Structure 1
C-alpha cells in the first residue's frame, strides 16, 4: 500500500481546526495537527480517538507568528514523511473593538496572526507543495469579504488574506498548486469564547459608541445561537482538500453564501451598508 498523503493544519486545538484535523485523518490523510501550545492537544486527541482516526494524527508545535517555528515544523514533516501534499491555514484570532478607542496595537496584532502568519506559512510551504503539485487551503471568514461593525482589525486582516490568495492563485496554478479560500459564517466554537470578552466592561468603556456596540452584541449573540457546528464548517474544508478541481472560494453554509453574494453584487456598497448598518442600530 502507498503511504497516505500528508497535510499540515494550523490552529487545531479547538473549533474548525480541531474538527478539520479529525475529518482529514478519517479521510485517510496523514494529518499533522499544529498549535502554539501542544499542552492544549487533549481535546483533539480525544476526538480523534473517538473517531477512530488517532493513528493518522500527529501533534506538532507551530507558532505562525514565528518564522523559525514555521520553518522547523515544515522541514520536520518533510524529513519524516518525505512529502507535503497540502497545507490548511486555519490559525487565527478575533478582536472586537473600534480603532478610535483601542488604538493601533490590536490592529497590528490582528494582522500579525491573521495575515502575516498565513503569508509566512504559505511562503515556507510553497516549495514543498510545488514538489507534490499539492493544495493550499486557507480558512478565512465572510468577514474577509464583508466588513463588519466593531471587527475592523479582524476584517482588515481577513480582507488582506483574501486579496493575497486571490492574487497568488493564478501564479501558484502555473506550478501545479491549487489555492482555495474557505469562508465560514457564524460557527459555534471556542473561537469567540477564546477572546475572553468582558461585554459589560466593553460597553461601559465604549463612550459614544456604547449604543452601537450594545446593538451589535445583541445581534451577534442571537446569530451565534443558530451557528453551524465546527464539523459542518470542516466538511467544506475537507471538500476542498479532496475535490478533483477545487474552487478558489467556497462558503460553508447557505447563510454564508447569501451574505457573500450581497457584497459581490453590490457595486456602490449601499447594499452592504444597509445590512451591517442595521446591526448597530
Structure 2
C-alpha cells in the first residue's frame, strides 16, 4: 500500500491526528493537512512515537485558493478524508445569521470545496471519499442548530453524490461518531460565557450541558474512531454509512432503520443505472 496516498483534513488534533497516524501505520502515504502548520507539533510527535512519517501541508478548507494549491502539489490521490470541522453551541434568537453562515462555511462548504478539487484525481485512481460527519447529521440536537444543519447538509449531499460518483469508480462514505473525547468539544467556546448570554434560554441550556457531560463521560477515544476510518479506507466495498459505536448506533437508530445506507443507495443508484 506504500504507493497509495490519502489526504486528511484537520489533522492538528483529535480524530484527524489519530487517523493520520493510524493510516500511516497501515501503509498509506499520508498528506496531513491543517490550516496552520505551526500547530503540527502534536501530530509530528505522535507520528515519531509510532515510528511513521506524515507529509504535513497547509490547507484551509474555507479558502478555495489554499485547497487548489494543496491538491495541485499531489501526483496522485487514492483517498480523501474530510475531517476538518468546527463545533458551535447556540440558539437562533441569541446569535447572528453570520454566526450560522460561518458554521456552514467550515462544516459544509469546506467539505464540498475539498471534495470537488479532489474528484478529478480520485476518478483516475478509482479512489474514495470518506467524510467524518456526526450523529448530529442524523438527529437534530438542542443548541446545536447550526452545527446539525451543516452536518445534515453534508449527509444529504454525500448520500446524493454517492451513486453518481460510483458511476466513475469513486466510492463515497460517511462516518458518524457519537461523543468523542477530543479537543473538538473544548473548542466549541467558553461555556460559562454562553450561559450568561443565553437569557431566557439559560435554564434549558444548563440542562442540556448537564446531559452532555454525562454522555461525554463515556465518550470514544479519537484512536478508536481513527481505527474504524482506516478500515473504511481499506475496505474493498466500503459501506456508505458507518456508525462508530454502539451508543452512536442506538442514537441514530431512533431515526435510521437503514443503518449502513444500502437500501437508499440501491434505490437512488437504480435511478441512474
Q: TM-score range by the shorter chain?
A: over 0.9
Q: CA deviation at 1:201?
A: 2.2
Structure 2 distance, partners of 1:136, 1:249, is 12
Q: Deviations over 1:218-249 (max 9, x none)?
A: 11112111101000011111111001110000
Structure 1 distance, partners of 2:26, 2:2, is 13
**Aligned Cα root-mean-square deviation (Å):** 1.2
Q: Aligned to 2:244, which of 245, 252, 255?
A: 252
Q: CA deviation at 1:39?
A: 0.2
Whether 2:28 is the aligned partner of 1:29: answer: yes
Q: CA deviation at 1:198?
A: 2.4
Which residue matches 1:46? Answer: 45
Whether 2:104 is the aligned partner of 1:105: answer: no
Whether 2:182 is the aligned partner of 1:189: answer: yes
Whether 2:196 is the aligned partner of 1:218: answer: no
Q: Deviations over 1:121-149 (max 9, x none)?
A: 11000000000000110000000011000
Whether 2:228 is the aligned partner of 1:236: answer: yes
Any unmatched runs of 5+ in structure 1? 267-281
1:58-137 matched pairs, under 5 angstroms: 58-78=55-75, 83-137=76-130
Any unmatched runs of 5+ in structure 2? 259-273
Kept in 2, the 8 Å contact 1:95–1:106? The answer is no
Q: CA deviation at 1:265?
A: 4.6
Kept in 1, the 8 Å contact 2:2–2:28? The answer is no
Q: Deviations over 1:79-129 (max 9, x none)?
A: xxxx11000000000100001111211110010000000001110000000
Structure 2 distance, partners of 1:200, 1:164, is 35
Which residue matches 2:192? Answer: 200
Secondary structure, counterpart of 2:140 in structure 1? coil
